[in-house]
Amino acid sequence: MKELSQDEWQKKAKKDDKAVLLDVRTEEEVDEGYIPNSKNIDIYKGQEFVDEVDKLDRDKHYYIYCRSGKRSSQACTLLDQMGFAETYNLAGGFSEWEGEKETN
């Protein structure tokens, strides 16, 4: 896992043809807004989260975020342990995100 600033995270993800944006927040949090083109898998779902993550392509590079950066850091560690190639945590999380946002 690499902890990246918002600027680094955004620039790296844009240039990375293997990038997957992964939002590990709850559905309620996602309803308040999300980063475009991100996939949501709620880390609070425990085993269900692990099962969903297990279906993902381990060769892709995962750019992970939550509200503050704590849950996404845990998710990065978990994906690293599961054998994923590269994970990047968004420092400060969505609460400090100044880039593009979408809402449902």
Which pair of structure tokens corresponds to residue 69? 């950066």
What whole-number distance in Å separates Cα of residue 78 and Cα of residue 49?
A: 10
Q: Is 66 noted as a catalytic residue in this protein?
A: yes
Tell me 65's DSSP state: E
Which pair of structure tokens corresponds to residue 80? 């690293």
Q: Which of 35, 53, 66, 79 is catalytic?
A: 66
What whole-number distance in Å separates Cα of residue 94 and Cα of residue 33?
A: 9
The residues assigned a catalytic role are 66
